[in-house]
C-alpha cells in the first residue's frame, strides 16, 4: 500500500486477499490492522460469504477462531458460528472457554444449537448443557467448570504431579480446590504454598478451610462484588449442599459490571434493557422495550393535571403562580434524579446496603439543605427580576427549599427499600422520580402559596 494510511476499503481488500490465499499470518495481520483502526471486526466478517467465512475459519484454525469469537459479543459470535458447517462450528466451540461457549450457544437458534452440540465431543457437549441449565445472569451462567481440584489425602508432591496433568485445560491454576469424593468443597490452597511446602505434607494440612463461595443461583453481580471486595482471582460456585460446580474468574468481573451498569443506565432512562447490541436492535424491538415505561409514566403523570385542577382557585387568584411551576417541579425532578443515579450505582458496586439507610438519609438531607439554600436565593432573585413582589418571591424561595428536601429524601429511601423488597432498584428511574415529585411538588407549592399569600379556600 506504499506506506500510506489504509482506508476501510483497503483493509477489506487486505482481509479478502489473505483469505483467498489461506494465509493465517496475513489474516492475523489484517485483523490487527482492523483493530488498530478502531473498527469492529464483526462488520468485516459479516460481509463474507459463507464460503469465504469457512475458508477464514479453516485457515486460522479452531483455536484462533475460538479466541476471536470469545472477544465478540455473544450475539455477534453466534451469528458467525451459525454460518459455519456444523463440524467446524463444533470444533470452534470446543476450543472456546466453556463459559464463553455457553454464552454463544445461548444465542443460537435451539434447533441449530442442538445439531452443533451433537457434533461435539460428548463430554464437551455435556459440559455445555450443564452450564446452559442456569440463567445467563446468575453465578451458574457465568461459571466455568475448568478448575483444578485435588483430594485432601494427597501429599504435596502428588498434588503437583496431578496439577501438571490438567494445568493446560484449567481456567486458572492460582487456586487449587480440595474436594471430598462426593465433590463437596473442603478448602483451597494456593499454588505458591503448594510448591514451596515440604513434598510429604498432606493437602489436608495445607488447605485453608474458610473459603469464600457463592451459590450457583446467586446473581452474577453479587459474584463480581465478592471478587472485587476480597481481591480474589477466582470464586468457587457451589450448590445448596456445598458441592463445587465451577469457578468465576477475575477476568469475568469487568464483563459482569459492564453488563449490569448498562442495564442500570437503561432502566434509569426509563427503558427495559436490550439483550443484544444496539445496532442489531430493530425499531420494533426498541419500541417494545420503551413503550411499557412510557405508558406507565404517562398514566402517572396524569395526576399532575389532577393536582393543577384541584388548585385552580389558587391559580386564578394569583396568576403569577403559574410562572414558576416549570422551574419548581423541574428542580425537584433534577435533585431526585441526581440522588437516585448516585445511589443505584453505589448499590451496584456494593458500596451501600439497607443497614446504611440512616447514614444515607442524613448525608442526602445535609446535602439537600446546602443545595436548597443556594437555589432558594437564586429563585428569589429570579422572582424579583419578574417584578412579582416580595411575597411571591418568598413563596417560591420557601417552596424550593421544601421540594429539594422532599425530593432528596424520597430518592434516598426508595432504592434501598425496593432492594429490601427484592425489586430491582434501577426501576426507580430518573423519569419515575421526576413524575413522582411533579405532583407532590405542586401540592407543596400551592400549600405554601395559600399560607403566605392568604388565598382563601375555594
DSSP H helical ranges for 311-356: 312-317, 325-348
**Model confidence pLDDT, tens digit, residues 369-423:** 999 999 999 999 988 888 888 888 898 899 999 999 998 898 888 888 877 877 7
Whole-number pLDDT of residue 1: 45
Q: Which of 65-69, 130-134, 276-280 has the lowest mean pLDDT?
A: 276-280
Predicted confidence band of residue 8 (pLDDT cuts 50, 70, 90): confident
pLDDT digits (tens, 9 = 90+) for 16-35: 898 989 888 898 888 888 88
Please write the tens of the pLDDT for every residue from 310-320: 666 666 656 67
Between residues 458 and 164, which one has the greater pLDDT? Answer: 164
**pLDDT class of 201 with cuts at 50, 70, 90:** confident
- Position 215 scores a pLDDT of 94
Query: Taking the domain 278-452, which CATH number applies?
Result: 1.10.357.20
Mean pLDDT of the chain: 82
As a whole number of Å, the CA-based R_g of the chain is: 30
What's the pLDDT tens digit per position in 105-160? 888 888 888 898 989 888 888 888 888 888 888 888 888 888 888 888 888 888 88
pLDDT at 371: 92
pLDDT at 300 over 80: no
Q: Please give the DSSP secondary-structure letter assigned to residue 198.
A: -
Whether CATH 1.25.60.10 fits 8-137:
yes
- pLDDT on residue 263: 66
pLDDT at position 5 is 66
**What is residue 2's predicted lDDT score, i.e. its pLDDT?**
47
* 170 or 156, greater pLDDT: 156
Q: Is the dihedral of CA 162, 165, 169, 171 positive or negative?
A: positive
**C-alpha grid cell, residue 293:** 415505561
Domain at 149-249, CATH class: alpha beta
Taking alpha carbons only, the member of 111, 102, 112 closest to residue 135 is 102
**Cβ neighbours around 194 below 10 Å, total:** 20
DSSP notation for 233-277: SEEEEE-TT-BEEEEEETHHHHHHHHHHHHHHHHHHTT-PPPSS-
Q: Same CATH topology for 8-137 and 278-452?
A: no
327: which DSSP letter?
Answer: H
In this predicted model, what pLDDT tens digit does every residue of 39-65 receive, in sequence order? 888 888 888 888 889 899 898 888 899
* Residue 69 · residue 84 · CB < 8 Å: no
Is pTM, for the whole model, over 0.85? no
Which tops the pLDDT comparison, 44 or 347?
44
Burial class, 135, CB count within 10 angstroms (exposed 0-12 / middle 13-18 / buried 19+) = middle
In the chain, where the domains are located: 8-137, 149-249, 278-452
Assess contact for 148 and 167: CB atoms under 8 A. yes
The average pLDDT across 248-254 equals: 79
pLDDT of residue 168: 72
Amino acid at each position: 500500500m506504499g506506506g500510506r494510511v489504509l482506508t476501510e476499503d483497503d483493509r477489506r481488500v487486505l482481509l479478502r486477499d489473505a483469505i483467498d490465499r489461506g494465509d493465517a499470518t496475513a489474516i492475523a495481520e489484517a485483523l490487527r490492522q482492523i483493530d488498530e483502526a478502531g473498527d469492529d471486526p464483526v462488520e468485516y466478517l459479516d460481509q463474507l460469504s459463507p464460503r469465504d467465512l469457512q475458508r477464514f475459519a479453516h485457515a486460522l484454525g479452531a483455536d484462533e477462531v475460538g479466541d476471536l469469537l470469545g472477544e465478540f459479543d455473544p450475539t455477534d459470535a453466534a451469528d458467525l458460528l451459525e454460518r459455519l458447517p456444523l463440524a467446524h462450528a463444533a470444533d470452534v466451540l470446543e476450543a472456546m472457554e466453556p463459559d464463553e461457549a455457553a454464552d454463544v450457544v445461548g444465542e443460537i437458534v435451539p434447533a441449530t444449537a442442538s445439531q452443533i452440540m451433537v457434533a461435539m465431543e460428548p463430554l464437551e457437549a455435556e459440559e455445555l448443557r450443564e452450564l446452559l441449565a442456569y440463567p445467563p445472569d446468575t453465578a451458574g451462567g457465568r461459571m466455568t467448570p475448568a478448575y483444578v481440584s485435588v483430594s485432601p489425602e494427597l501429599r504435596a508432591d502428588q498434588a503437583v504431579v496431578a496439577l501438571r496433568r490438567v494445568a493446560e485445560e484449567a481456567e486458572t491454576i492460582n487456586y487449587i480446590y480440595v474436594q471430598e469424593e462426593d465433590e463437596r468443597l473442603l478448602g483451597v490452597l494456593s499454588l505458591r504454598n503448594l510448591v514451596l511446602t515440604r513434598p510429604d505434607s498432606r493437602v489436608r494440612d495445607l488447605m485453608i478451610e474458610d473459603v469464600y463461595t457463592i451459590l450457583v443461583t446467586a446473581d452474577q453481580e453479587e459474584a463480581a462484588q465478592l471478587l472485587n471486595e476480597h481481591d480474589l482471582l477466582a470464586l468457587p460456585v457451589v450448590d445448596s449442599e456445598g458441592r463445587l460446580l465451577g469457578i468465576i474468574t477475575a477476568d469475568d468481573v469487568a464483563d459482569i459490571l459492564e453488563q449490569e451498569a448498562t442495564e442500570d443506565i437503561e432502566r434509569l432512562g426509563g427503558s427495559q434493557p436490550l439483550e443484544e447490541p444496539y445496532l442489531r436492535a430493530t425499531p420494533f424491538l426498541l419500541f417494545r422495550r420503551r413503550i411499557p415505561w412510557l405508558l406507565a409514566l404517562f398514566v402517572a403523570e396524569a395526576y399532575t393535571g389532577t393536582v393543577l385542577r384541584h388548585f385552580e382557585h389558587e391559580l386564578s387568584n394569583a396568576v403569577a403562580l403559574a410562572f414558576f411551576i416549570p422551574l419548581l417541579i423541574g428542580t425537584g425532578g433534577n435533585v431526585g434524579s441526581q440522588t437516585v443515579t448516585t445511589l443505584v450505582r453505589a448499590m451496584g458496586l456494593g458500596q451501600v446496603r439497607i443497614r446504611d439507610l440512616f447514614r444515607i438519609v442524613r448525608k442526602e438531607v445535609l446535602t439537600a439543605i446546602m443545595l436548597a439554600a443556594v437555589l432558594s436565593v437564586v429563585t428569589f432573585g429570579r422572582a424579583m427580576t419578574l417584578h412579582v413582589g416580595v411575597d411571591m418571591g418568598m413563596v417560591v424561595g420557601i417552596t424550593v427549599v421544601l421540594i429539594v428536601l422532599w425530593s432528596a429524601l424520597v430518592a434516598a429511601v426508595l432504592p434501598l427499600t425496593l432492594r429490601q423488597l427484592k425489586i430491582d432498584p434501577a426501576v426507580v428511574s430518573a423519569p419515575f422520580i421526576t413524575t413522582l415529585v411533579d405532583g407532590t411538588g405542586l401540592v407543596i407549592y400551592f400549600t405554601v402559596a395559600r399560607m403566605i399569600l392568604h388565598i382563601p379556600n375555594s
